[in-house]
A = this chain, B = another copy of it.
Amino acid sequence: MKEFLKTKGFKMTPQRELIFRSFFEMGKHVSVEELYDKVHQKDRSIGYSTVWRNLKVICKVGLAEEVNLGDGVTRYDRVTREPHGHLFCQNCKRLIEFDIHAVLPYLVETGEEKNFRADSFKIEITGLCEDCQAMENKKNERLH
């Protein structure tokens, strides 16, 4: 990893290593704050902006990309995994993934038709997850 970063013009530091490790352990859909909390527990001296900047670095070297669900918080998602879409529960903010191999060809074709140079594809379904639907139903029952 150290070598890999060097080829991209970045250096390795203890902080960076801890941040990278933590991010890849958490794996997916991590917000700056979540990662900061986790990292900060292990090393109280690491600042918020360092975490933030390193998340950007992870993106710059192509290991993750930003995900924006419109709830005001940017999340970071590993890109080494298979292409996938997101089911985003607006209540509990949970993110469920699903495979999008079936539709990717269509999207690629669409971009080509319009002479658009596509960098990334995003498919998101927002709504209510199974659990939150159940909760909602219980709440309604109580009201009657």
Contact = CB atoms under 8 A, between A and B. Distances in A.
Interface string A19-39: 000000000000000000000
A71 B92 CA distance: 24
Interface size class of A (residues with CB under 8 A): 35 or more
A47 to B, nearest CB: 22
A126 interface: yes
Count copies of this chain in the complex: 2
* Interface residue SS majority, chain A: strand
A50 interface: no
Contacts of A115: 129-130, 133
| Top 3 A-B residue pairs of the complex, sorted by shortest distance between their CB atoms | A68-B70, A115-B130, A119-B127
